[in-house]
Each structure stands twice: as structure tokens, then as C-alpha cells.
């Protein structure tokens, strides 16, 4: 157990207020960290990608259902 990290994470999530309450069940898998660092990171990356893809799919479906023109693929302007 890492008390400092736990304290930091609690502080961070508490800043989210009620939003964090709704996210609790979604976040639970991330709280089960193993001893394998690579696996933990891969799990977090996969969780992140899945959530983002779920959001993108949900946005596209909602737009279509409500008769809005699908948004143009957002142009990413990352630093060169």
C-alpha cells in the first residue's frame, strides 16, 4: 500500500465532487493494482481507450438519432 498515493488520489477525486460518485463503479477495476507494473499500465491504457471509444461511439449515435449532422473528425493540432 502506498499511503501517499492513496491520499493524493482521494484528494484528486474529491475535487471531482459528485461526478466521482457516479464514476465509482467504473473506476473500481483501476483500484485493483497488481505487482506487475507493465500489466497495470496496460490495463489503465486499455481502460482509457475503451472509455474514449465508448464516448465517441455514443456521441455519433446520439447525433444521428437527433438529426444532427455528424461532426467532422476533430482536427488534432498537437505540437510538432
- Binding to other proteins in span 52-71, by CB under 8 A: 52-56, 58-60, 62-63, 66, 68, 71
Residue 28: DSSP 8-state: G
Size (the chain), residues: 80
Binding-site string for other proteins from residue 3 to residue 22, where x marks contact by CB under 8 A and - marks none: --xx-xxx-xxxxxxxxxxx
Are residues 13 and 20 in contact, defined by beta-carbon separation less than 8 angstroms? yes
Residue at grid coordinates 455514443: 58
Least Å distance, CB 23 to other proteins, is 5
Among 48, 56, 50, CA closest to 74: 56
Binding site for other proteins (CB under 8 A): 1-2, 5-6, 8-10, 12-24, 26-28, 30-35, 37, 40-41, 44-45, 47-56, 58-60, 62-63, 66, 68, 71, 73-74, 76-79
Amino acid at each position: 500500500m502506498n499511503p501517499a498515493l492513496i491520499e493524493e488520489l482521494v484528494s484528486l477525486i474529491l475535487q471531482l465532487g459528485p461526478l466521482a460518485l457516479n464514476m465509482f463503479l467504473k473506476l473500481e477495476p483501476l483500484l485493483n493494482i497488481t505487482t506487475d507494473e507493465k500489466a497495470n499500465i496496460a490495463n489503465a491504457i486499455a481502460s482509457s481507450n475503451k472509455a474514449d471509444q465508448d464516448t465517441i461511439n455514443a456521441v455519433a449515435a446520439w447525433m444521428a438519432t437527433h438529426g444532427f449532422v455528424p461532426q467532422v473528425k476533430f482536427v488534432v493540432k498537437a505540437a510538432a
